Amino acid sequence: MRALLKRLMPRGLLARALLIAVLPLILMQVLSAYLFYNSHWDQVSKQLSLGLAGDIAILIDALSAMPDPASREWLFNEAENQMEVTARLEPDGILPNEPGRQTALEGELRRALLRKQITKPVRIDEQMRKDRVVVLVQLADGVLRLEVPRTRLFSWTIYAFVLWTLGTTLILLGVSTIFMRNQIRPVRRLARVADAFGKGREVANFKPQGAREIKLVAVAFLAMKNRIQRQIAQRTAMLAGVSHDLRTPLTRMKLQLALMPEDEAVTALREDIHDMERMLGGYLAFARGEGREKPKPRDLTVLLSEVVSRARRGGGMVELETEGDLRIPLRPNAIRRSFTNLIENALRFANRVTVRACRRGGAIEVLIDDDGPGIPVDQREEVFKPFFRLEASRNPATGGVGLGLTIARDVVRSHGGDIVLNEAPAGGLQVRVRLPL
């Protein structure tokens, strides 16, 4: 039962708020209508039926005391003028014996006639005319036909009450919808701003609005956003500063080594300095990955074509396939560096690389497949850690400093996306990059 209610409940906050506000109102209106029908409607119908039954009883008794046609004509005229009853006698008439379908109105009138001691056969036809009801009474000398306005038996107050109830409910629902939409609008705006910030896009001109609680949430979000940006800026500045400061002593060491006579120790020291420079370059690239570059609408097809062309000029066999419109807000330099790292990493271990990009759902998906040895399943998350290398040596020919995939995922996640490693159809590694639109 709980699972069923959970499925039936609306998903949106606006719909749920309206349900909470309007459902009690609807239940109250339904209960009021039910009580009104059971009390007022029954009482009114009963009194109207008793009034008409009394008039019919008077006419039947008067006809028994007035056998001559002139007196009966006078009685019928008086009945029409004073009682709103059009009466005429059908001499020697006989009511049909088959019973018809009895309605609620007919049943109430029959009960009223019985209370007035009228036990003669009666037929009531309320379908012949919409505005009048025909009552047929079997008398000894014929059938008494009586036509009365429907208002003598039916009160239109029930329809007025239903229309009033429905009208007020719709008006209150409209007012509640307008009010709740105004209250929900700041929540939706906050959600859009949070989503844009999570995708690394610019969040400008956002001010806390709405109810007090919503303003508190917006203020907390702005404080969190500022703390995150401040932390990123501090880390970027620290990495850049450390890398820059270390370049000065390395330059002095290179100058001193250039003046020293060439031997095995000098050569080894020169290689160590070269490795340190490569590591510092990796630090700076990692720091620039979270720089202050602003997102701009860019065509990912053009950007991928530039990266692939550069890889081909370096001797790599890379194929590119794109499909559809791939325009998306990007930090172009950071994304270019990310895809460059991914493609260069694939070419380092494979002979052939295929890059495919297309729209899928609410995102752009880029697949980079290679025919290399791949990465073991238990190490596919480890390779994203800074300075982690599958090959344990620091030989430049067998790999970099271990920051390529780290920088790539860092850049993609700063755009709100992610990178996942799988097995390629050719047996190598497949890198799946997903960038939300």
Using only the alpha carbons of the chain, give its radius of gyration: 45
**pLDDT of 398 higher than 60:** no
Specify the pLDDT at position 131.
72
Distance CA 183, CA 44 (A): 46
**Do residues 368 and 349 make contact, with C-beta atoms less than 8 angstroms apart?**
no
| Mean local confidence (pLDDT), 338-362 | 88
**In the prediction, which pLDDT does 123 show?**
78
What's the rounded mean pLDDT across residues 20-31? 76
Residue 429 and residue 415: Cα distance in Å, rounded?
A: 23
The answer to whether the Cα torsion of 37, 42, 45, 47 is positive or negative is negative
- Using CA atoms, how far residue 243 sits from 1, 255, 276, 292, 396, in Å, is 62, 19, 10, 18, 20
For the ranges 14-18, 66-70, 290-294, which has the lowest average pLDDT?
290-294
Tokens of 422: 């799988």
pLDDT for 393: 47
212-255 pLDDT, tens per residue? Answer: 888 888 888 888 888 877 877 777 777 667 766 777 777 777 77
Q: What is the mean pLDDT of residues 351-362?
A: 88
pLDDT at 428 (0 to 100): 85
Q: Which of 19-33, 187-201, 383-397, 401-415 shows the lowest per-residue confidence on average (mean pLDDT)? A: 383-397
Given a cut of 80, whether residue 358 has pLDDT beyond it is yes
Amino acid at 298: R
Question: How does DSSP classify residue 383?
Answer: G
Describe the strand order of the beta sheet including 132-139 as a list of residue ranges: 86-91, 142-149, 132-139, 122-125
CA-to-CA distance for 245 and 323, rounded, in angstroms? 46
For a pLDDT cut of 90, what percent of the chain falls above it?
A: 4
∠ CA 190-195-198, rounded to 5°: 125
Q: Which domains does the chain have, with CATH numbers?
A: 10-92+102-158 (3.30.450), 199-292 (1.10.287.130), 294-436 (3.30.565.10)
Predicted TM-score of the model (pTM): 0.53
